[in-house]
């Protein structure tokens, strides 16, 4: 076990403890709220920005930024309040212990996903030889790399295909440049890394 393994282990423990404290239902509601807030912000970006420009003399891009942030924050806050109310309602019931255990599992999954994304992004940038050796000899780094692609494809299949949810067909003008930068950054990844049949244990070769 090297320094990279220690850092990964510490992060996973932190997320597990945070999951225990927040509970499964509160964490799930917060996670759903994040995606709903993002979809709402994208869907109503044009209408909200037009409304802002009608009353305030600001450039279109500034109005779009404020619209996106405003819608996202409001929707996310509503879900956070809902999650907090539900958490308080079940915390002192027999379900509370099960909720806490589920929170640990979900916290570990969330922590593993973030660590996986970080490792994938680090693989796209030139690192000093010392760091390359640390990551290459890490026991946890290799299997953790496969977590993000595995989760992404499972969620994509479950939400987009099974529930017949279609992603936005057109990227809002204010987000086009950021979308192109993200697409360019992820382009070097092997198509195999996005194979839904690849498990987290297999990692990215």
Mean of all residue pLDDT scores within the chain: 77
pLDDT interval class at 9 (50, 70, 90): very high
Domain extents in the chain: 3-187
Ranges 79-93, 111-125, 185-199: which has the least confidence: 185-199
Please report the pLDDT score of residue 70 as a whole number: 92
Query: What value does the mean pLDDT take over residues 137-150?
Result: 82
Which pLDDT score, from 0 to 100, does residue 75 have?
A: 93
CB 25 within 8 A of CB 83: yes
pLDDT tens column, 153-177: 776 666 555 555 555 555 555 555 5
Q: Which residue has the higher pLDDT, 51 or 152?
A: 51
**Token digits for 10?**
């510490």
- What integer pLDDT is reported at residue 126 of this predicted model? 79
DSSP label of 184:
H
**Above 60 in pLDDT, residue 125?**
yes
Mean pLDDT of 32-49: 87
The pLDDT of residue 151 is above 90: no
CA distances from 142 to 35, 106, 119, 203 (A): 28, 21, 9, 6
């Amino acid at each position: 076990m090297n320094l990279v393994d220690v850092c990964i282990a510490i992060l996973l423990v932190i997320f597990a403890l945070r999951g225990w404290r927040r509970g499964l239902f509160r964490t799930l509601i917060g996670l759903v709220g994040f995606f709903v807030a993002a979809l709402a912000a994208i869907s109503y970006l044009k209408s909200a920005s037009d409304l802002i420009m009608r009353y305030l003399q600001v450039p279109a891009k500034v109005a779009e930024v404020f619209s996106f942030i405003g819608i996202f924050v409001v929707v996310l806050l509503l879900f956070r309040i809902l999650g907090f109310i539900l958490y308080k309602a079940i915390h002192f019931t027999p379900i509370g212990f099960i909720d806490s255990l589920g929170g640990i599992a979900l916290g570990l999954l969330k922590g593993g996903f973030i660590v996986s994304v970080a490792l994938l992004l680090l693989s796209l940038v030139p690192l000093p030889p010392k760091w390359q050796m640390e990551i290459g000899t890490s026991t946890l780094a290799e299997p953790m790399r496969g977590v993000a692609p595995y989760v992404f494809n499972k969620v994509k299949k479950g939400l987009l295909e099974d529930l017949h949810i279609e992603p936005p067909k057109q990227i809002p003008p204010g987000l086009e440049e950021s979308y192109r930068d993200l697409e360019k950054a992820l382009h070097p990844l092997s198509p195999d890394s996005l194979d839904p049949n690849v498990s987290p244990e297999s990692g990215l070769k």
